[in-house]
């Protein structure tokens, strides 16, 4: 077998292990971007890209899963920064929440393979989940709470968490579909994202006053709110 002619990187001097670890993570990210597939990235290929031996990788990461988790933790740390930046430029609580929704989907599409690994791969909690919970999702909870305090969303004895979870499910669902099914007739993606976010915000705002209504009553109330006459009631459930 032909051996790689790429020169091996010298072993990092004592105290420079963090620099090598960073180089390993960067190489893994580059390979993910180049191949577009987690399966195509191996510990050996990462070692070759960095210019070290495979055992050098295992001094920092116990296996490939550990390495990929560290990569995703770093990447999703960038998501936390993107959400914070989006919130800083917003004019009010709802603008802040909508801006964070846009930033989230933009991030997912720009880092599709890492997003796929985190949300469409294994279900066991990882270090990346800690980053998502502590650094990312906490910002969304705070934004929802601000909307409740401003009277934009109804307050809840359970606090902002349930509403934040529902919004997260909606935004993640669209992001995942755009990544996995780009061929569907989405139309202009930016317009699709904006319409979905506004629809979710409107639903959250109306939830408190309309959630207890039966479907027929809800149809009538929504038609009044929209300024359109109701064209008929939803059919009732047939009795057995």
pLDDT band at 12 (very low <50, low <70, confident <90, very high): very low
CATH numbers and ranges of domains, the chain:
12-61 (1.10.10.60), 71-225 (1.10.357.10)
Tokens representing 86 are 């989006």
How many Å apart are CA 222 and CA 55, to the nearest integer? Answer: 63
How many Å apart are CA 198 and CA 217, to the nearest integer? Answer: 23
Max mean pLDDT among 73-77, 171-175, 210-214, 224-228 falls in 171-175
pLDDT digits (tens, 9 = 90+) for 54-92: 999 999 998 988 888 888 888 888 889 999 999 997 889
How many Å apart are CA 240 and CA 227, to the nearest integer? Answer: 36
Closest CA to 128 of 115, 118, 143, 113: 118
How many Å apart are CA 143 and CA 212, to the nearest integer? Answer: 25
Cα dihedral sign, 46-51-56-61: negative
Give pTM, 2 decimals: 0.77
Contact 100, 143 (CB under 8 A): yes
pLDDT digits (tens, 9 = 90+) for 13-55: 444 567 889 899 889 888 888 887 788 889 999 999 999 999 9
Other beta carbons within 10 angstroms of residue 13's beta carbon come to: 9
The residue ranking higher by pLDDT, 172 or 127, is 172
Closest CA to 117 of 19, 18, 23, 40: 40
Query: Position of tokens 């909307």?
Result: 147
């Amino acid at each position: 077998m032909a051996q790689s002619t790429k020169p091996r990187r010298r072993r990092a001097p004592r105290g420079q292990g963090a620099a090598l670890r960073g180089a390993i993570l960067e190489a893994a990210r580059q390979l993910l971007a180049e191949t577009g597939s987690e399966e195509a990235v191996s510990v050996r290929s990462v070692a070759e890209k960095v210019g070290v031996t495979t055992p050098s990788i295992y001094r920092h990461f116990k296996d490939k899963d550990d390495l990929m988790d560290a990569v995703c933790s770093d990447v999703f740390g960038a998501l936390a920064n993107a959400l914070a930046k989006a919130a800083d430029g917003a004019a009010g609580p709802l603008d802040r929440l909508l801006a964070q929704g846009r930033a989230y989907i933009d991030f997912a599409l720009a880092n599709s393979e890492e997003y796929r690994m985190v949300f469409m791969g294994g279900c066991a909690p990882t270090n990346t989940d800690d980053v998502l919970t502590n650094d990312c999702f906490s910002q969304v909870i705070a934004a929802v709470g601000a909307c409740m305090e401003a009277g934009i969303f109804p307050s809840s004895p359970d606090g902002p968490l349930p509403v934040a979870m529902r919004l997260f499910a909606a935004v993640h669902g669209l992001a995942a579909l755009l990544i996995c099914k780009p061929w569907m007739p989405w139309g202009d993606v930016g317009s699709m994202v904006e319409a979905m976010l506004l629809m979710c915000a409107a639903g959250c705002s109306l939830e408190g006053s309309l959630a207890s209504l039966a479907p027929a009553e809800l149809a009538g109330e929504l038609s009044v709110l929209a300024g359109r006459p109701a064209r008929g009631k939803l059919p009732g459930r047939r009795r057995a």
